[in-house]
């Protein structure tokens, strides 16, 4: 993000949304390991000393991290825009159906 002072100031992205990955945003100001350690919060949970959920969480965490590393802000904005358009189309269809009845 970049900020601009003054009457016409504000904020803007420092890079194009297509080049900003969701994982980068979530990592900002955090430790290296993005999804955290043990799902149960145990400090000594690892492959050698696993908690009861370690194997499940490890696989799930890898899948989530992979998704976050491939999704960009532009992807999210596009999905949000399409969702709003679909919602608007459904409202229009409902309004037309109500006026016909």
**Residues 1, 14: contact at Cβ < 8 Å?**
yes
> At a CB cut-off of 8 Å and minimum separation 6, what does 10 contact?
3, 4
Using the predicted structure, report yes or no on whether residue 33 has a pLDDT greater than 60.
no
Residue 76 has pLDDT above 60, yes or no: yes
Phi, psi of 6 (to 5 degrees): 105, 180
pLDDT confidence of residue 81: 66
- Burial string for 77-88 (b: 16+ CB within 10 Å, else e) reads eeeeeeeeeeee
Is the pTM here over 0.75, yes or no?
no
Mean pLDDT over 3-32 rounds to 86
């Amino acid at each position: 993000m970049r900020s601009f002072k003054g009457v016409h100031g504000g904020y803007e992205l420092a890079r194009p949304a297509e080049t900003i990955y969701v994982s980068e945003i979530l990592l900002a100001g955090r430790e290296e390991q993005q999804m955290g350690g043990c799902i149960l919060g145990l400090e000594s949970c690892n492959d050698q000393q696993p908690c009861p959920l370690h194997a499940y969480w490890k696989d799930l965490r890898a899948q989530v991290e992979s998704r976050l590393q491939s999704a960009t802000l532009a992807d999210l904005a596009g999905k949000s825009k399409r969702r709003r358009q679909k919602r608007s189309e459904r409202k229009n269809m409902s309004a037309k159906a109500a006026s016909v009845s």
